[in-house]
Structure 1
Amino acid sequence: MDRILKVLFFGLFIKPIVFIVLGLNLRGRDKLPKKGPAILVANHNSHLDTIVLMSLYPLSMIHKVRPVAAADYFLGQGGLLAWLSLKCIGIVPMDRSGKAGRNALFSDCHKALDNGDILILFPEGSRGEPEQMSKLKKGIFFLLNDREHIKVTPVMMHGLGRSLPKGEALLVPFNCDVIIGDALAVTKKSEEFMLSINDSLSELSQHCITRHHVEV
């Protein structure tokens, strides 16, 4: 039932918004992992980030693509937001209270990866200022400890922070970039691994048309 809800939600509502209302400059779509376990890592400026990334996949695969999201924000109040998050988007809830140990913190992520899912992670943590990257957190490194076989695909997005900024509820159509890079290998050293993600996102940002337009 959840799979059907997710297909209907994206097929009838989300995909038309993403591909008709938003103008996407999409590059490297063929580099998306075709099956899991796999991870997409992306910068994070807007709630649109998640649904845009998920919309890049065909409806036949949409149930296997799952964003890792803050449990306190999306599930804490219950109600419609929690229902949509679990049933229509299929989030993997993450406890960011600081009370959970590392094993418990990543347990649901490990279950999803073991199930062959494709996870969406935002290493910055929470949404930052529109079109500005914050320092990357090391959670993804600890998640992938002893899982070196899992590839990490970087994605740089630009413009979505203007279409739906943090704290806003009204969608404003802007042209947006989604640039997908080559998969990265997991390394044994956290600093080396995080630097490779940061460098890849920075390189991909050079291909963002909207970024250069704003700078000019």
Structure 2
Amino acid sequence: MSKLALRTYTLLQTVTSVGLSAMAWAVTGVRPIWSGSQPSDRQRIYFANHTSHGDFILLSACLSETERAKTHAIAAAEYWGKSRLRRFIAEDMLSSVLISRTWTSEAEHPISIMLSVLEQGHSLIIFPEGTRNSSDELLPFRSGLYNLSMARPDVELIPCWIENMSRVLPKGQFLPVPLLCRVVFGAPVAIAPGEERRAFLQRARAALLALDPRPDRDD
């Protein structure tokens, strides 16, 4: 890629990031609530509930411009890689990292791809349920969060509860509905020495559920 093309590419990503962040604030009036953690320039893995394609945009909008520029959402290649347009939107405009659930080589292994992003000093947004969830109950977590924490215990794991986004941008809709939203950032979750996968994932899930502001939340 030439220097001019690289500058153009970087400018496109910056303009898109700022524009989407401004739109998220305008449509949702999103209010970040830092409960147990604070904004930081530390490298982090933000893990959140997942109910809408707009989830990572709303979460990113709560970060500073500097942090947003180096934070990448993990997205499913099966959906976002279906066409050139979708891939362009996901990778070139939204700076997402696409992973495949049907990988066939080590280079395509989701954990390898995510670790390569972390090795560049960047942060991640992941959805450990593994899919969009239209129910009121948080699904069991898949093992990716555990594998990442084992490989990179130095990277902070921050639980983030995203409220109302499923009503702002429901599945199958493209025009957002103006509604107030909140993103609650919890205290870091760290893997304990010798902690087994299932125990860690249950504890991480409980930490995320504890941020749900609904009085009838699933315990």
Q: TM-score, normalised by structure 1?
A: 0.86
CA separation of 1:33 and 1:166: change in aligned 2, threshold 3 A: farther
Aligned to 1:177: 182
| Identity rate, percent | 24
CA RMSD of aligned residues (A): 2.3
Aligned to 1:197: 204
1:69 shift after superposition: 0.9
1:82 aligns with 2:87: yes
Per-residue CA deviation, residues 146-196 of structure 1 (Å, 9 max, x unaligned), is 322222000011110111112222211112121100111123311221122
Which segment is superposed worse, 94-103 or 39-48?
A: 94-103
1:92 aligns with 2:97: yes
1:60 aligns with 2:66: yes
1:43 shift after superposition: 0.3
The one of 48, 56, 70 aligned to 1:50: 56
Q: 1: distance between equivalents of 2:107 and 2:15? A: 35
Kindly indicate whether the alpha-carbon contact (under 8 Å) linking 2:77 and 2:99 is maintained by their aligned counterparts in 1: yes
Aligned to 2:38: 31
SS at match of 1:18: helix
1:130 shift after superposition: 5.5
Kindly indicate whether the alpha-carbon contact (under 8 Å) linking 2:30 and 2:58 is maintained by their aligned counterparts in 1: no
Pairing 1:111-150 to 2, within 5 Å after superposition: 111-129=116-134, 131-150=136-155
Pairing 1:91-110 to 2, within 5 Å after superposition: 91-97=96-102, 99-100=104-105, 104-110=109-115
Kindly indicate whether the alpha-carbon contact (under 8 Å) linking 2:27 and 2:177 is maintained by their aligned counterparts in 1: no
Q: Which runs of 5+ in 1 are unaligned?
A: none
Q: 2: distance between equivalents of 1:98 and 1:137? A: 16
Q: 1: distance between equivalents of 2:100 and 2:12? A: 25
Q: Which runs of 5+ in 2 are unaligned?
A: 1-6
Q: TM-score, normalised by structure 2?
A: 0.85
1:103 shift after superposition: 7.8
Q: 2: distance between equivalents of 1:103 and 1:76? A: 16
SS at match of 2:26: helix
CA separation of 1:186 and 1:102: change in aligned 2, threshold 3 A: farther
